[in-house]
Structures are given as C-alpha cells and as structure tokens.
Amino acid sequence: MPTKTVYDVRLIVSGLMQDNAGKLSATTRNQAIQAAVKLHSNNIPAIKFRVVTGMSNDTIRTPTGWVDEVSQIMQVELPINERPPSYLEEEDFKVIPAVTATTAYRILFLNDVPGATERVAIRFSAPHTLGTVSASNTIPDAHIDAVAHLGASIACQQLAAFYSQSGDSLIQSDSVNNQGKNPNYLQLSKAYMNYYLMFFKIDEKGFAKAATVILDVDRKFSFGTDFFYHPRRWR
C-alpha cells in the first residue's frame, strides 16, 4: 500500500522548482501537481479489482471506483475461482449507457450472462488519486519521485510564463534578472519531463498523445513477453 501523500510530492516539487522569490503561489503549485497526476493517469492508470454480483438481466452495474468516460475494462473473470481462471473474451461484453439514473453506464454481457446471485470479478483502469492521507493515494511509493518531477515540469512552465511577462508592473523593478530566468525555467521543465519519461520508458511523442500509449500496449516485446502494466489477457 502507498505510504506517501500529496505533502511528500509538494516537498519534492518545491525543491526542484527553487522558487525562492515565491512567484508561484501554493494554489498554482498544487494545480500543477494535480495536472501531473491526471497526465500520469493517461499513461499508467491505476488498476482496480472489484467483485460485482450479477443482476436479474444481462447487465451489471459498473464496479465501485469506476469513472465514466475514463475507465476501461481490462479483464472479466466469469465464473470466478476456477483454476485456471476463466476470462471472457473482449467480444463477450461491452460498456453501454444505463437506462436508470443511478449510474451513467453498465456492463452488458453478450454471450455468457451471470446469474442474479453470481459474482463477477472485474479488473479495470481508473485515474490515480493523490490526497492528504496515504489511504487516498493510488500511486506506488516507487513512482512518487517521478510523478513529482512531472509536476515540477508543469510548475516550471508556469514560472517561465510568469517571467516572460516582462511588461508586468510587478516585475519591471527587476527586469534585468527576469530576462535570464525564463529560458532557465524552460530548460528545467524539459529536464524534469525527460526524467519522468525515462523513468517510465515512455516515448516523448507517445506522451503528447495518451491514446497512442494505450494502443501500443497490445504489442509484445521482441522476445515474446507481455508488457508489464497491460498484458494481453487484460484486454
């Protein structure tokens, strides 16, 4: 279980930014951190596992933790507890809009339909969360430093934008110093971004288009092994 919180990330980001002049407010810095969490979720989402009980028809509710328009089903086990496990094929189910207002979507079974009391095990993706208590954090401790670098990259872009406004009356008094800070923060932003990309072995072009990263996980490594985060059996 993760033990880190958003406070740990704030400390790392502050150290990387070195904003001694305090030009970036705490609110803006926190927005950069949450933006980093959202971007990270596009590349390496949180993986959740839930057991849902069947209903009296061919649909079941989406599991707890599901985020409409974002989450994707990676694996459906039906029936559960078989050895070896019995997983449905991708063409055996799909997510559809719900008729009732209790939830926006439900899972429709096209072939094997679970009984009214039968349990279904579902593995699915969801956005990461990072809060003030470790229980609300879904980012592994080993990944916190890299995600903090991504947050610092975004924050440095914000600082670069601030210093680029040389006509602002608030910074005209030290405009000579400001001339050199904008490119420096842009360089720092790129360096921190590269750290994040290298840590997770993400291609820079793929990071700009999150969908490309998701589509790539269907391919196997050259020596035939599945990708670690998204093996083919989760599709």
What is the per-residue pLDDT across 88-110, written as a single tens digit (0 to 9) for each?
999 999 999 887 656 688 999 99
Q: Above 50 in pLDDT, residue 209? A: no
Better pLDDT: 210 or 118: 118
CA dist., res. 124 & res. 99, Å (int): 22
Radius of gyration over every alpha carbon of the chain, rounded to an integer in angstroms:
22
- Of 49-58, 67-76, 175-184, the one with minimum mean pLDDT is 175-184
| Entry pTM | 0.76
| Three-state DSSP class for residue 57 | coil
DSSP letters, 91-134, are GGEEEEE-SSSS-SEEEEESSS---TT-EEEEEEEE-----SSG
Q: Above 50 in pLDDT, residue 214? A: no
Structural domain spans, the chain: 6-44+131-217, 46-126
Q: Above 70 in pLDDT, residue 178? A: no
Banded pLDDT at 225 (limits 50, 70, 90): very low
